[in-house]
C-alpha cells in the first residue's frame, strides 16, 4: 500500500515535464540516510506540491514536485526490499509522517488564505531542512507572492 502511494506520486510528478529546474540535486548528505529520513521528507514535500498544484501556485508546485521525484526515486529503487517496507520502525514513521503532512498542508493553506508570510516561511523552512538532510542543494525557494 505504501509503495502504491509513492508510485502514484511518481506518475503525477513525471507527467509534468515542463517544470523549471531551480535546484541541483544532489550533494553528499551530511550523514548516512535511512528509509525513515526519506519517508519523513516525502511527507514534507508532498503537501507543498499538492497545495501549489491545487491553488495555482507554480513555485510551490514545482519546488515540491522536483523533490518528490528525488524521494520517489529512492523508494522505487527499493521497491522490492520487503524488509524495508515491513519494518515496524519504517511503518510507524510512515504513519506519523502522514499526520505531519496533514498539519503542514493546513498551515500552508492558512498562510495562503491569510497572506501570512511568516507562516508560509515556517513551512518552507521544514522543506529546506529536508533538503539539507537529503543532500539537495537549495538554490531557490518559493515565495508567498510569486
CA distance linking residue 142 with residue 58, whole number of Å: 9
- How much of the chain, in percent, has pLDDT values that exceed 70? 79
| CA 54 to chain centroid | 15
Instruction: Flag whether the pTM goes above 0.75.
Output: yes
Residue 45 lies in a domain: yes
Residue 118 lies in a domain: yes
CA distance linking residue 144 with residue 105, whole number of Å: 14
Residue 12 lies in a domain: no
pLDDT of residue 19: 42
CA angle 130, 75, 138 (to 5 degrees): 25
Residue 129 lies in a domain: yes
Concatenating the DSSP letter of every residue in 120-131 gives HHHHHHHHHHHH
Domain that holds residue 66: 38-146
Q: What are 93-142's pLDDT values in tens digits?
A: 888 899 999 999 999 999 999 999 999 999 999 999 999 999 898 888 99
- How much of the chain, in percent, has pLDDT values that exceed 90? 53
Arithmetic mean of pLDDT over the chain: 83
Q: What are 24-44's pLDDT values in tens digits?
A: 455 566 667 888 899 999 999
pLDDT of residue 49: 97
Q: Is the pLDDT of residue 1 over 60?
A: no
Residue 32 lies in a domain: no
Helices (H) and strands (E) in the chain, counts: 6, 2
| Residue with grid cell 528509509, as numbered in its chain | 35
Could you give the C-alpha distances from 61 to 55, 72, 110, 122, in angstroms and in order? 9, 16, 17, 17
Residue 144 lies in a domain: yes
Residue 76 lies in a domain: yes
> How many structural domains does the chain have?
1
What is the length of the chain? 146
Q: Is the pLDDT of residue 15 over 80?
A: no
CA distance linking residue 52 with residue 69, whole number of Å: 15
Q: Are 53 and 95 in contact (CB under 8 A)?
A: no
pLDDT mean over 78-100: 88
Report which of residues 140 and 56 the model is more confident about: 56
Amino acid at each position: 500500500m505504501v509503495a502504491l502511494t509513492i508510485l502514484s506520486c511518481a506518475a503525477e510528478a513525471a507527467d509534468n515535464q515542463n517544470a523549471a529546474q531551480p535546484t541541483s540535486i544532489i550533494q553528499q548528505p551530511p550523514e548516512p540516510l535511512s528509509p525513515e529520513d526519506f519517508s519523513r521528507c516525502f511527507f514534507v514535500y508532498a503537501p507543498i506540491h499538492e497545495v501549489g498544484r491545487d491553488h495555482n501556485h507554480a513555485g510551490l508546485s514545482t519546488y515540491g514536485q522536483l523533490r518528490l521525484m528525488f524521494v520517489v526515486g529512492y523508494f522505487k529503487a527499493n521497491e522490492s526490499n520487503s524488509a524495508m517496507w515491513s519494518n515496524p520502525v519504517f511503518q510507524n514513521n510512515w504513519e506519523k509522517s502522514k499526520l505531519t503532512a496533514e498539519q503542514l498542508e493546513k498551515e500552508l493553506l492558512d498562510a495562503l488564505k491569510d497572506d501570512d508570510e511568516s507562516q508560509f516561511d515556517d513551512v518552507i523552512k521544514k522543506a529546506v531542512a529536508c533538503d539539507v538532510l537529503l543532500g539537495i542543494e537549495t538554490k531557490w525557494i518559493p515565495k508567498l507572492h510569486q
